[in-house]
Structure 1
Amino acid sequence: MAQPWNSEAKAGLKLISPTALYATLLLAAPLATVLIFSVMTDGQGKVIWDFTFANYVEVWTGKVYQAIMLRSLTVSMLVTLVTVIIAFPIAYFVSFHVAPSRKSLWLFLITIPFWTSYLIRVFLWKVILGYNGVINSGLLSIGVIDEPLQWINYNVGALVMTLAHAYAPFAILPIFVALEKIDRSLLEAGQDLGESRLRTFWRVTLPLAMPGVIAATLIVFIPTIGDYVTPDLIGGGKLPMIANMIEVKMLKQNDKALGSAIAVSAMLIVAIVSLIFLFMNRRFLRGQSR
């Protein structure tokens, strides 16, 4: 008769306890604190333990918060789209057209941007796109323009370009892993049955690579919507995103209650958008399998 709490169960509990405790302290506890603060009342720099939904009402009805959240979603979706479109051909080339002995070298080169700080990479894009930056200086020197271009910086396009470059390796690697798992004999079978390469790619390669595409999409979408360094530097403070608003409320205005409500609302929206994407992807895969 099996006894509860046998030696194996105790050993397993001891094994996972440090990790579970670590995750609870560093993830669950801060999240619970934010959730509690979001339904409390602000008292001019301190939280008053008075339950209220007024913070959420202000966040969801305030025109400023709606505009900033919409901008954050738009920028994040554009960055995700651009990054995945750029990452897929690179991952496809490395997986299907690079010799196995050289794939490690290509992956090594792809990860080189990780060697430098994210902040340094953002500063470099600011130098490239700046009023007196590399692009303007180069175009002026060859006589293409008479005065520096002002529209290449401090706009949504500059934000998308910078973030897409920063998160490209995060998208390339999961797509590459998914492509590597594809059985090449399936592609050969499709072509033997008379399918063109394009149709084989659409009906075989792409559906089988979708787990990697999904991972790349979520890996890029979720952190970019919460990015606050790039809007501050590349946007010049003129294009704040939701993380910048949270920073202002939490640190500068010391309104932890409203800042927490904004943070929770942002997390809820990100979760909903992610679930919608997963649902649409599942329908796409079902359609492809018919």
Structure 2
Amino acid sequence: MSSAFPAPSPTTSTPPADPNRSARRFEIAMNVPGTLVTVTLILFALALVLFLSTRINDSTVLGAGFTFGNFVEAASDPLYRMVVGRSLIIAGLVTLATVGLAYPVAYYAAFHAGRHRGLILFLVTLPFWTSYLLRVFAWKIVLAYNGVLNSGLMELGIIREPILAFLNTPAAVVITLAHAYAAFAVLPIFVALETIPKSYLEAASDLGAKPAETFRRVVLPMSMPGVLSAALVVFVPTVGDYVTPALVGGPSSTMIGSIIQAQFGKADDWPFGAAVAVLTMLVILVVVAAARALDKRFGSRT
């Protein structure tokens, strides 16, 4: 006797897709653009500079033959050592001035600005809406012999005639660079202050700590990773800056970036310019390593 219901036909079950494999594929796909940029624009450029630094200058693009004489000449010449030292001093002063001015702004935005926090951060980043060169030229107009500063001091009766002490000096370079990189210092410090748990501040207050003591023992140590990050973000690019010293600085403000630019430009000695650049990078790496050691000392939360 046949059954009234037909036997179910066998079906082939499809195994479920592995979510981990899909996640890995997506992660690889997202990392491809960053990897290509890193390899082509950073590692390749660095390898090319290292290659050029070991070549002999024969008026060709890549030089001929290998030599370490470029490094020996750059490291032994007192002129280049003096310029590197001056660059480190100017960059250090710029970093101190920028971080010192940025910390109060970031502190106010993080703890006291309230609903005006977004406006303060907007005003901090507003100068970046204009060209870097325009900002440098603006300071040149302010500090010039017949500029805004001299004119204002004469109107106030502080000076009788314009003076030359403002423009074409290391101080002019420090002021201009500090203004140019101000936002780079404010934002990392603000992020570090913003991530401090408010319960820590309340606990310090409950234990009888005054605001100054709370800042010294709680806020400042916990914000040091942001301070060190801001210092590095400002220090590293200012060491090799050559536009600002060329526009608002004088002979006493020549920095290593100007020397490197001159070697790749008027001097037409690319191998020696590359060697100077490599030695400068090594000096910067030492500073970065010291900053990383301080970062570990203060227990970075990043």
Q: Same fold (TM over 0.5)?
A: yes
After the TM superposition, which residues 8-47 of structure 1 pair with which residues of structure 2 at under 5 Å, given as runs?
9=24, 12-47=27-62
Residue 168 (structure 2) aligned to one of 111, 132, 154: 154
| Mean Cα deviation higher: 192-201 or 173-182 | 192-201
Matches of residues 157-196 of structure 1 in structure 2 within 5 Å? 157-196=171-210
Structure 2's unaligned 5+ residue stretches are: 1-20
Q: Do the aligned partners of residues 22 and 231 (structure 1) sit closer, same or farther apart at CA in structure 2, a change above 3 Å counting? A: same
* Alignment partner of 1:197 is 2:231: no
Residue 104 of structure 2 corresponds to residue 94 of structure 1: no
2:129 matched residue in structure 1? 115
Amino acid at match of 2:225: P
In the TM superposition, residue 11 of structure 1 has moved relative to its aligned partner by 5.2
Residue 18 of structure 2 corresponds to: none
1:210 counterpart residue number: 224
| Equivalent pairs, count | 280
The alpha carbon displacement at 1:185 in A equals: 1.4
| Structure 1 residue 194, shift from structure 2 partner | 2.2
What is the DSSP-based 3-state SS (H/G/I as helix, E as strand, rest coil) of the residue aligned with 1:111? helix
Q: Alpha-carbon deviations, 1:183-212, whole Å to 9, x = none? A: 111112112212222221111101111121
The more displaced of 181-190 and 74-83 is 181-190
Q: Distance in 1 between matches of 2:25 and 2:211?
A: 55
The reply to whether residue 265 of structure 1 matches residue 279 of structure 2 is yes
Corresponding residue for residue 87 of structure 2: 72
The runs of 4+ residues in structure 1 deviating greater than 6 Å are none
SS in structure 1 at match of 2:177:
helix
Q: Distance in 1 between matches of 2:126 and 2:277?
A: 32
2:66 partner SS: coil
Which residue matches 1:248? 262
Separation (CA, whole Å) in 2 of partners of 1:76 and 1:11: 42
Contact 2:166 2:172 in 1 (8 A): yes
CA deviation vs aligned residue, 1:109-150 (integer Å, no higher than 9, x gap) = 111111110100000000000011001112223322112121
Looking at CA atoms only, which structure, 1 or 2, has the larger radius of gyration?
Answer: 2
CA-CA distance at 1:17 after TM superposition: 2.6
Residue 114 of structure 1 aligns to which amino acid in structure 2?
F
Choose 179-188 or 192-201, whichever is displaced more.
192-201
Instruction: Give the CA deviation at 1:95.
Output: 1.0
1:209-249 Cα offsets, whole Å, 9 max, x none, are 11211111111001111111100001045521111101000
| CA distance in structure 1 between the aligned counterparts of 2:211 and 2:27, rounded to whole angstroms | 50
Indicate if the aligned counterparts of 2:145 and 2:164 stay in contact, CA closer than 8 A: yes
% identical equivalent positions: 45
Cα shift at 1:48 = 3.0
Give the whole-Å Cα distance in 2 for the aligned partners of 1:246 and 1:164: 22
Q: Would the alpha carbon gap of residues 274 and 148 (structure 1) be closer, same or farther in structure 2, given more than 3 Å must change?
A: same
Q: TM-score, normalised by structure 2?
A: 0.88
Residue segments in structure 1 that go unaligned for 5+ positions in a row: 1-5
